[in-house]
Amino acid sequence: MLFRKIAALALGASVAVATPIYQRDVDFQWGSTKVRGVNLGGWLLLEPWITPSIFQNLNGTVVDEWTFCEKVQNASAILRRHWDTWVSLKDFQKIKDAGFNTVRIPIGYWAYKKFNNDPYIQGAAPYIDKAIGWARQTGLKVWIDLHGAPLSQNGFDNSGRLIRLPETPGWTRGDSVNQTLAVIQLIANKYAQESYQDVVVAIELLNEPLASALTGGTNAVTQFYNDGYGNVRKISNTPVMVSDAFLNVSFWNGVLAPPDISGVIIDHHEYQVFNPDLLLLSPAEHREYVCTNSPSYAENANKWTIVGEWSGAMTDCAAALNGWNIGARYDGYYPNSTKVGSCDNINFIETWSQQLKTDTQLYIAAQISVFEQKTEGWVFWNFKTEASPEWDLFRLLDNDIFPQPLDSLSSESGLCSV
């Protein structure tokens, strides 16, 4: 299978891009085959809400991977055990058997290089190789996602380091951007090589940079995208993913634009649980919003778009989803929030009513249908969790809630009228 040349980036800023070592295409039909993927979140970069057992009984001072490595005496042994057990070949086979074709693998920069006396513990990088081997064995494709940058690109705990107000994420200050580019080059030097193009079909430069909170704003992010794209292109034409940075995808039309540059795809994340107004919606209204909101990320763009994160959640009830020791908006325990409903049974799928199961299934089906009609595909978050079934593909599959088979959904136009 050959990679179809993609409409991609660079009008506004000039980019010096080296000629790739070779022009062989990755083994995925971008443009004709929809991505049907799932994230392997919480594996090579900890997120407290995905694996709360790792963060319990630590006096509330350990809130992210930075503080975990800094404060937990046996952190190295715990991480090693987690890396060895959280994902397996059996998981890859289950993903493949459910009709998926791609896994997105988040990883932090420190897996490849540490800076400025970081407390992070290294050792995660070799598991990318293990994952690629499992993907090759099961027929899945891999999208490598740099999920955490030095000093944090967004201040979220999922970047590895939580930044609390009034502080702001420091990624664009000092030498952090150059450090990130050095890590991108290390990743590209290995995984953009021809020997990996049968499995590694994209490299994402950085997950969710929060441009509005960063020194230099969109200008700094744009220059990073230009330079990071150039780093990958020094090696090959492996596709480059860039986050929309919480902006309308059309904002990026003037950045790395066609016809001068190709092989760039916008990664948009679509959730309905972090906005108080959206939490007020009924299940039917959540589905309707899926249908009416797609123009905001799927129209007026000169690049392909993929929904690289989304979920089955209509509440933010997942424990620690908003941060360790921070409650949910839905039940009113988040600071300055107003209660919408109860979280009592949301995290216990065995207590779900048939109506909740049906509503969740219809919500997931509507998203898949719209994403496949309007974009190049989707990547569900997450493959599993310890205690958050709205976000847990495996639990949703095991309880006959996640729609199967996937091929039945892309043409179901009636989903947007329910």
Catalytic residue among 204, 208, 270, 376: 208
Count of CB atoms within 10 A of residue 80's CB?
13
What crossing angle do the helices spanning 125-138 and 89-97 adopt, rounded to 10°?
Answer: 40
Taking CA 411 as the corner, what is the angle to CA 408 and CA 414, rounded to the nearest 5 degrees? 105
Residue 72 zone, left/alpha/beta (φ > 0; ψ -120 to 50; rest): beta
Q: SS3 of 407, please? A: helix
Tokens 């997950």: give the residue: 207
Q: How many residues does the chain have?
A: 418
d(CA 266, CA 387): 31
Taking CA 82 as the corner, what is the angle to CA 79 and CA 83, rounded to the nearest 5 degrees? 85
Torsion from C-alpha of 367, 373, 377, 381, nearest 10 degrees: 0
Tokens 């899926």: give the residue: 290
Q: Which of 36, 35, 28 has the alpha carbon at shortest distance from 5?
A: 28
Catalytic residue among 47, 204, 270, 309: 309
Count H helices and E strands in the chain, helices first.
11, 8
Active site residue 208: yes
Catalytic positions are 208, 309
